């Protein structure tokens, strides 16, 4: 699993600064700091990218696609592969951090948090560039002027799982999970023009149930079929319906509960029993009701709240896992149950754990202190400041430091994850190659590392099609035994 997050970018007092150029400045500033030059970094390998392939069995043509879907071309934008195995690049008008592949939800939190630190440093470095601007970065999802940018989750799945089963099993889960993992938002509607507070910062931007697009006609279930692994064995489920979370508890629950639901779908343990009659409308209704009393109507005629629907999924997961789950699974189930019980009894008791509750509690304190209503512009500024990556400005980080927002990672492990890859996936091989041989890597991607060896006419590609091969246990001894990329390639080829 892994998380890719586009960050909001702005310059105070200069709303018309070109966002693409500003994002490139952010990434390039970090590249110079990390590699000595923005040009000495390995480029991203686009050879295996297939953003227009649809899991329903066809390819969209490039003529049909919105330009934002053509992610197999960097269009000259900045693009870095980090030593921790992550990708840091410009995705159209935003700097984006795509975490390395991990095998469990806690590691997903660690390397996602590492991305936050990368962005914090990149913004600081970009602000010091002579002739540049003071850059602000935000881990949020909308500018409240009608534009939205994503926080996408990715999960490895068995290719043999019917895609129809994924749609049936996941749709009700996604419609209801914002009660736990919503980031919270001041304003209703894509442009935030209607007053009020909602659970999710992204919900209003979803318009269809299933589809290939990610920036227009956004679907609850995305059908992009770009496995970044052996396509005969795997698919990568690309989830675009989630929010960018500051709360580590919300990120942990988002990744842990979703991966459990996917395991049930793979095993054929879920069906369409809880499918909403109108999933898109219900996604919006759930988000717009912080009282959590809205009742979702299913196609079977049942009526239940989002919390009750999540409780149904939890009970199914508990039955599926059985009496003796491994420690990681047991912890996810325990947290899932604890949070749902609290949401059922008193949602505000989770103000120190879940983003939307923390943000709502913060807003209410400002409203009570200063006699503000939901349409007061200061509340949207507070909403924005909650997500500022600057530790001195970001309200979420200030809540953490004050012990008012739970943290499950440590500063030391996150600082290490900024530079070091996860030990138990192929990201370890990718990151270590970038760290040890930066001048010899022509390109790299999720499923390959490409070497440029002096005196060798062609580039040398090392495939990494299995996400669980290339781990530290698998290749550390090999990398330690060689002193050059030439030696590494000779050993790998048996010559």
Distance CA 405, CA 378 (A): 22
3-state secondary structure of 115: helix
Helices (H), 298-354: 306-321, 327-345
Task: Check if 375 is active-site.
Answer: no
Among 91, 355, 388, 447, the active-site one is 91
Supply φ then ψ for residue 251, to 5 degrees.
Answer: -65, -45
Closest Cα to residue 445, out of 8, 40, 23, 50?
50
**CA 193 vs CA 221, 282, 301, 312: distances in Å:** 27, 20, 33, 35
Question: Which phi and psi angles does 347 have, rounded to 5°?
Answer: -55, -35
**494 phi-psi bin (left φ>0, alpha ψ -120 to 50, beta other):** left
Query: Nearest to residue 431, comparing CAs of 71, 114, 93, 25?
Result: 114
Does residue 398 sit in helix, strand or coil? helix
Assign 292 to helix, strand or coil: coil
Cβ–Cβ under 8 Å, residues 306 and 314? no
Output the 3-class SS for 174-229.
HHHCHHHHCCCEEEECCCCCEEEEECCCCHHHEEEEEECCCCCCEEEEECECCCCC
| Nearest residue to 214 via CA among 110, 94, 104, 296 | 94
Structure tokens at 72: 């197999």
Closest CA to 123 of 229, 29, 56, 217: 29
Q: Sign of dihedral through CA atoms 422, 425, 430, 435?
A: positive
The CA distance from 148 to 342, in Å, is 30
Look at the alpha carbons of 202, 204, 93, 19 in this order and tell me if their dihedral is positive or negative.
Answer: negative
Query: What CA–CA distance (Å, rounded) separates 201 from 393?
Result: 20
**Catalytic residue ranges:** 91
């Amino acid at each position: 699993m892994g998380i890719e997050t586009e960050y909001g970018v702005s310059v105070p007092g200069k709303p018309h600064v070109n966002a693409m150029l500003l994002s490139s400045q952010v990434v390039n500033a970090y590249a110079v700091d990390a590699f000595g030059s923005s040009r000495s970094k390995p480029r991203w390998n686009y050879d295996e990218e297939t953003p227009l392939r649809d899991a329903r069995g066809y390819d969209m043509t490039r003529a049909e696609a919105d330009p934002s879907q053509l992610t197999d071309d960097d269009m000259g934008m900045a693009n870095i592969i980090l030593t921790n195995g992550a990708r840091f690049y410009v995705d159209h008008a935003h700097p984006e951090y795509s975490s390395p592949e991990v095998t469990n939800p806690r590691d997903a939190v660690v390397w996602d948090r590492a991305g936050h630190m990368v962005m914090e440093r990149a913004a600081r470095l970009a602000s010091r560039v002579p002739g540049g601007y003071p850059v602000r970065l935000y881990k949020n999802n909308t500018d409240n002027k009608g534009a939205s940018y994503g926080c996408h989750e990715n999960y490895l799945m068995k290719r043999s799982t019917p895609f129809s089963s994924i749609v049936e099993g996941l749709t009700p889960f996604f419609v209801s999970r914002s009660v736990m993992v919503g980031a919270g938002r001041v304003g209703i509607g894509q442009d935030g023009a209607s007053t009020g507070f909602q659970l999710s910062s992204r919900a209003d931007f979803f318009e269809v149930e299933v589809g290939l697009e990610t920036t227009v006609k956004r679907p609850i279930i995305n059908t992009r079929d770009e496995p970044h692994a052996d396509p005969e064995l795997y698919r990568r489920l690309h989830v675009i319906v989630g929010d960018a979370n500051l709360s580590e508890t919300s990120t942990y629950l988002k990744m842990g509960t979703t991966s459990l639901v996917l395991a049930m779908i793979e095993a054929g343990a879920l069906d369409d029993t809880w499918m909403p009659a109108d999933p898109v409308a219900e996604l919006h209704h759930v988000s717009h009701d912080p009282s959590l009393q809205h009742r979702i109507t299913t196609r079977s005629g049942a009526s239940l709240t989002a919390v009750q629907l999540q409780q149904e999924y939890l009970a199914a997961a508990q039955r599926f896992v059985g009496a003796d789950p491994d420690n990681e699974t047991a912890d996810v189930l325990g947290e899932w149950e604890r949070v749902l019980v609290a949401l059922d009894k008193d949602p505000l008791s989770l103000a120190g754990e879940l983003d939307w509750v923390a943000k709502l509690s913060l807003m209410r304190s400002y409203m009570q202190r200063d006699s503000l209503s939901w349409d007061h512009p200061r509340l949207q500024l507070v909403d924005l400041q909650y997500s500022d990556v600057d530790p001195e400005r970001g309200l979420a980080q200030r809540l953490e430091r004050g012990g008012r927002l739970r943290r499950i990672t440590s500063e030391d492990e996150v600082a290490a994850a900024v530079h070091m890859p996860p030990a138990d996936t192929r990201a370890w091989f990718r990151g270590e190659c970038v760290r040890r041989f930066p001048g010899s890597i022509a390109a790299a991607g999720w499923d390959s590392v490409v070497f440029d060896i002096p005196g060798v006419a062609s580039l040398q590609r090392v495939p990494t099609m299995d996400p669980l091969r290339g781990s530290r246990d698998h290749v550390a001894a090999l990398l330690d035994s060689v002193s050059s990329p030439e030696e590494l390639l000779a050993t790998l080829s048996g010559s």
